[in-house]
Amino acid sequence: MLRDLEARQAVKAARSTSQDKSALHIDSERPICVLTLSDTHIGSWATDYRLFEAMTEEIINTPEFFVILLGDLTNMAIKLRNVAEIHGDAIDAGDQFDMLESWLDDIGHKVICATWDNHAAEREETVLGSSMTARILSRRVIYHKGIGHMELGVGDQTYKLAVSHHFSGRSIYNPVHGAQRYIVMEAPDREIACCGDSHIPGVLNFMHGDTHRIAINTGSIQTNSPYAKRYFSLSTHPVFPCFALSPDEHRAVSYWSPGDYLASRR
């Protein structure tokens, strides 16, 4: 019986399309800029699709732009908590899958990695036992079904990243508390931690020991969410912090938004 279980574990591991640890190298002689993008909520009535299209075009047409996808890319109102939530989807789940795949056709070559989320991956796992969103992402890009540790090479340099849709820990005063806590207490070898989920953008540069760290939380383009307006705030901020990585010296510089990065290059 034990040997049978070991054999099944080996088969399951071989079939897995997710990674806890990953590595990617980008061969560049110039700095790249990594955008952190999450909570687009494709399929929701409350999403700003004009902004989504403009962001997509900017990522595709700016050579040094790359992106980390941090979850809640689709809305997936399939949890069935109430009728109003279900009516929050402008298109059904199948169309949301199609839109995600179509978008990845356009943007996949710019994606560094993607992570799990609660709106799609967790909800689909609850209803179906597996996630179609995770399958779609993992066929095309590096996918982390939990917290991911990535070694990101840029030119001659390697940067140590921690990525997740959510890191444990919340603070009403500090939107990056979870990401900061993770690279201080749980994974002190990581230099940069990125997450989403709360729809509250933030970026923090700080020193821990002798290492410069960056903690990031992303905003959302789901700017007209009745749920957010009722329980959190009337305002949602479509801000997505980013960071530039140098290929020839170990230097990471954060920016409040891609627009701020582009302004600094003029």
96 and 76 Cβ atoms separated by less than 8 Å: yes
Query: CA 94, CA 102: separation in Å to the nearest integer?
Result: 12
Given the DSSP bridges, would you call strands 252-255 and 242-245 parallel, antiparallel or unpaired? Answer: antiparallel
Helices assigned H by DSSP within 41-82: 49-61
| Residue 252 main-chain phi, psi, to 5 deg | -120, 125
Note down pLDDT in tens along the chain; length 266 residues.
Answer: 655 655 655 545 555 567 899 999 999 999 999 999 999 999 999 999 999 999 999 999 999 999 999 999 999 887 766 666 667 888 999 999 999 999 999 999 999 999 999 999 999 999 889 999 999 999 999 999 999 999 999 999 999 999 999 999 999 899 999 999 999 999 999 999 999 999 999 999 999 999 999 999 999 999 998 878 888 888 889 999 999 999 999 999 999 999 999 999 88
Quote the tokens at residue 83.
């009728």
Query: CA 129, CA 127: separation in Å to the nearest integer?
Result: 6
Question: Within its chain, how far is the Cα of 232 from the centroid?
Answer: 21
Contacts 24+ apart (CB under 8 A), 230-238: 232/199, 236/199, 237/199, 237/200, 237/201, 238/48, 238/51
Looking at domain 18-264, which CATH architecture does it have? Answer: 4-Layer Sandwich (3.60)
Instruction: State whether the Cα torsion 169-175-181-187 is positive or negative.
Output: positive
52 and 72 Cβ atoms separated by less than 8 Å: no
Query: CA 160, CA 248: separation in Å to the nearest integer?
Result: 16
Given the DSSP bridges, would you call strands 111-115 and 143-144 parallel, antiparallel or unpaired? Answer: parallel
DSSP for 210-226, written as a single string:
TEEEEEEE---S-TT-H
Buried b (16+ CB within 10 A) or exposed e, 178-196: bbbbbbbeeeeebbbbbbb
Query: CA 118, CA 231: separation in Å to the nearest integer?
Result: 18
